[in-house]
Structure 1
Amino acid sequence: MNYSTHVATSLAAGTYLTTVTNVPFSVACLGGIVIGSLLPDIDEPNSFVGRRTFGLSKLIKKTFGHRGLTHSLLFWLLFSLLYYKFQNDFTLGLSLGYVFHIIGDFFSRQGVPLFFPFTKKKFRAPLTYKTGTVQERALLVVALVAFVYIVYRYKLFVTVF
């Protein structure tokens, strides 16, 4: 999934979550979701976040491969300890964005190694898309429309400003 689709789908999912749970619709939480939705791809030097890591991305990819450790549920749980240690809207958003990224890649044809390092087997949903195709662009548009609809429908913009 391209970075823009990760951001859009994560924002749509996170915004919906604010309407059915106690997750706050705040600039800090939304900012965390955006950043968190990009972080798992730190294992790909050519990714949006990978190009900004000053070589760290190359080291991670060499050690764990793309869609290895950083796309596992174990790493997400360890990463989410940030929220346990620093309970605020931003770290909550980071954790949510991170898991939304993994879920998004779960629906890709490549799948994700959910239980890495215990197994390198990649899991994927029965219904998948191929990265960079019309299917993914359609998903991007649907996510953006859903985000705007949810914000408008629940008048969430009032809570931010």
Structure 2
Amino acid sequence: MTGKTHIMGGIASCSAIAYYYGFDPVLMTASGAIGALIPDICHTKSKIGRTLPLLSKVVSTVFGHRTFTHSLLFMLIMFLITAAYIPNKSISAGLMIGMASHLVLDAWTVNGIKLLFPSAIRFRLPLYMRTGSFSEQLVLAGLTIVSCYYFYELFHGRIS
């Protein structure tokens, strides 16, 4: 998936979770958008890879693309880090939800992800698509609609 689809996936997921569980929607969705980019630190041409090129190069060289940073092991490590160093629950939950949405979206692609890294087994959802395809554009549109719906619901009562 492309960066914009990952960002929208993080925003859509976090706006829905914020709505149902009472998290701060602004902090959570902003964190979700950032979290949705984190797993692609392993890809030097990704949005986060271009922002942190040295770190991205190291991670890419050591692990390759869609391996460690797209795994449950990485999610566990990031959970421990966010729990220890980010006291705001809306931010820490948003980061984790954004990263989880990234993994789900990439598991929806032809190449899938190594969810159980260091195992070489690739995990891919049964219905999958190519990155940048028309199918991905439909997913992006759907995620945008979901985000708009939940933002409307979250803020409708506060505006009127």
Instruction: State the identity %.
Output: 31
CA change 1:84–1:145 in 2 (3 A) is: same
Return 5+ residue gaps in structure 1 as ranges.
Answer: none
Two-structure CA RMSD over aligned residues (Å): 1.7
Specify which structure has the higher proportion of helix.
2
Question: How far is 1:21 from its partner?
Answer: 2.8
* Residue-pair matches, total: 157
Distance 2:124 2:102 in 1: 13
Question: Structure 1 segments of 4 or more deviating over 4 A?
Answer: 157-160
TM-score by length of 2: 0.90
Residue 16 (structure 2) pairs with residue 32 (structure 1): no
CA contact (8 A) 1:82 1:91 kept: no
Please give the secondary structure, in 2, of the residue aligned with 1:156.
Answer: helix
Return 5+ residue gaps in structure 2 as ranges.
Answer: none
CA change 1:57–1:145 in 2 (3 A) is: same
Distance 1:101 1:26 in 2: 19
Distance 1:21 1:75 in 2: 25
Letter aligned with residue 82 of structure 2: Y
User: 1:69 aligns to what?
Assistant: 68
Distance 1:124 1:10 in 2: 19
Please give the secondary structure, in 1, of the residue aligned with 2:37.
Answer: helix
User: 1:21 aligns to what?
Assistant: 21
Residue 46 (structure 2) pairs with residue 53 (structure 1): no
CA change 1:155–1:103 in 2 (3 A) is: same
Question: How far is 1:155 from its partner?
Answer: 3.6
CA contact (8 A) 1:130 1:136 kept: yes
